[in-house]
């Protein structure tokens, strides 16, 4: 039975992240955003708190918390700034949980353990300059010669591209299947920054998530040991989709935190600002916007927690996680727009957080499955056109 009450462990975690954020992040985030500057110190501090491996079992270097905990951390971090939640998405969700589920014992020991401990930072490399939603359109190849793969290609819009040590990268391993766009020809690989032929760069022209590191990386005949192949040679597409389930979960919880941030900022401003002799909070249409934020916050939180409950019990949750991601990110865009509206002209001022919320929210409506992709997915579930088939590996249930 689904219990809506947080455990004492959940409440302590939530409060710990909240207090850390108020002390270490809130006073600095405005300047970091304005300066387009990523602060690596936050990675160290998050590692010290056990956040980077919060839902990885202790035997693999993690804190052994459940998947609801991962959602709570994501929500609290995005309440502060989207750039911090993105760290959890790519490092903890897309990468670590994928290695936990699909990795060999050797891969877990060599890569997952130091990542869960925060000694190594990890990210995810699927998107390319000409391939986003169309995963079959990727051009990166990994050609096997002997016991090595030689990888060539470019990945784009990669969070922590200039920061991460390890990369979960997807490439075609079968040239003929690439021509046919048969996804069974895609493989998943662990790439280290130190591998010869690897290079990365930062994207400078983005207009949101400015306190985060976003970039690209290139591979020119990067030599990859066969032992770094995750899953089987033809399982890359399945692994990519599995990873997105975990990333979307953190995105959904994070967008929920952004809605709450918009609500709180709007309430504060509406009770301070006066027009026509009264607080603007007294105006009916301002109340309407704040009420919508509260409704969206509560609904979004229930949706991601439902997905987290299914994860904890070891049940497939692709449909539920996708719905949570779609609903909460669209709702966060609405909340951010209304937050700017509540602030009026000051919503355009950099002195208030409303503009940062508005710039940050849009990315999540696009990445890890666009709004349109998720609409089609949810319709197909209802129409009976889409069913989630069992895969060889499933996210392990949480062991209390």
What is the tens place of the pLDDT at every residue in 319-345? 999 999 999 999 999 999 999 999 999
- CA 150 – CA 166 distance, rounded (Å): 17
| pTM metric for this prediction | 0.97
pLDDT of the residue at 233:
87
pLDDT of the residue at 275:
95
pLDDT of the residue at 22:
98
What is the tens place of the pLDDT at every residue in 266-312? 999 999 999 999 999 999 999 999 999 999 999 999 999 999 999 99
- CA 100 – CA 373 distance, rounded (Å): 27
Lowest average pLDDT, out of 3-7, 32-36, 253-257, 305-309, goes to 3-7
Residue 400: pLDDT above 90?
no
Helices 318-343 + 236-272 axis angle, to 10: 30
First to last CA, the chain: 16
Residue of 78, 279, 368, 394 with catalytic role: 368
pLDDT of the residue at 5:
87
Place of tokens 């709007």: 266
Q: How confident is the model at residue 254 (pLDDT cuts 50, 70, 90)?
A: very high
The DSSP H or E segment spanning 241 is helix 236-272
Look up residue 90 and give its two tokens: 């790519």
Q: Which domains does the chain have, with CATH numbers?
A: 8-120 (1.10.540.10), 123-236 (2.40.110.10), 244-383 (1.20.140.10)
pLDDT of the residue at 222:
98
What is the β-pairing status of strands 166-172 and 122-125? parallel
Furthest CA-CA distance within the chain: 79
What is the tens place of the pLDDT at every residue in 133-152? 899 999 999 999 999 999 99
Asked if 368 is an active-site residue, the reply is yes
Q: How confident is the model at residue 355 (pLDDT cuts 50, 70, 90)?
A: very high
pLDDT of the residue at 2:
61
Look up residue 121 and give its two tokens: 């930072």
Residue 56: pLDDT above 70?
yes
Answer for the pair 360, 258: CB distance below 8 angstroms, yes or no. Answer: yes
Q: How confident is the model at residue 4 (pLDDT cuts 50, 70, 90)?
A: confident
């Amino acid at each position: 039975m689904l219990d809506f009450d947080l455990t004492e462990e959940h409440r302590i975690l939530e409060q710990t992240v909240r207090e850390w954020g108020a002390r270490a992040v809130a006073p600095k985030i405005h300047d970091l955003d304005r300066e387009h500057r990523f602060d690596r110190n936050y990675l160290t501090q998050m590692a010290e708190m056990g956040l980077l491996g919060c839902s990885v079992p202790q035997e693999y270097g993690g804190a052994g918390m459940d998947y609801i905990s991962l959602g709570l951390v994501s929500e609290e971090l995005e309440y502060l700034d989207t750039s911090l939640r993105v760290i959890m998405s790519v490092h903890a969700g897309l990468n670590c949980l994928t290695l936990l589920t699909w990795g060999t014992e050797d891969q877990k020991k060599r890569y997952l353990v130091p990542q869960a401990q925060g000694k190594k930072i990890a990210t995810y490399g699927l998107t390319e300059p000409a391939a986003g939603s169309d995963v079959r359109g990727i051009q990166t190849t990994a050609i096997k010669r002997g016991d090595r793969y030689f990888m060539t290609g470019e990945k784009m819009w990669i969070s922590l591209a200039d920061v991460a040590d390890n990369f979960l990268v997807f490439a075609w391993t079968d040239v003929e299947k690439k021509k046919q766009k048969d996804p069974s020809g895609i493989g998943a690989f662990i790439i280290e920054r130190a591998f010869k032929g690897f290079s990365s760069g930062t994207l400078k022209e983005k207009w949101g998530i400015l306190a985060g590191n976003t970039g690209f990386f290139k591979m020119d005949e990067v030599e990859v040991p066969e032992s770094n192949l995750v899953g089987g040679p033809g399982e890359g597409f399945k692994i990519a989709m599995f990873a997105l389930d975990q990333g979307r979960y953190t995105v959904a919880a994070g967008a929920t935190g952004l809605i709450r941030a918009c609500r709180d900022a709007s309430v504060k401003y509406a009770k301070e600002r006066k027009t026509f002799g009264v607080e603007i909070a007294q105006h009916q249409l301002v109340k309407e916007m704040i009420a919508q934020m509260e409704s969206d916050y509560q609904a979004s939180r229930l949706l991601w927690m439902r997905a987290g409950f299914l994860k904890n019990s070891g049940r497939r949750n692709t449909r539920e996680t996708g719905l949570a991601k779609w609903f909460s990110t669209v709702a966060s865009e609405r909340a951010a727009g209304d937050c700017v509206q509540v602030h009026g002209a000051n919503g355009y001022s950099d002195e208030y957080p409303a503009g940062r919320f508005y710039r940050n929210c849009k990315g999540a409506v696009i990445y890890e499955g666009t709004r349109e992709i998720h609409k089609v997915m949810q319709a197909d579930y209802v129409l009976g056109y889409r069913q989630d088939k069992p895969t060889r590996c499933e996210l392990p249930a949480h062991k209390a």
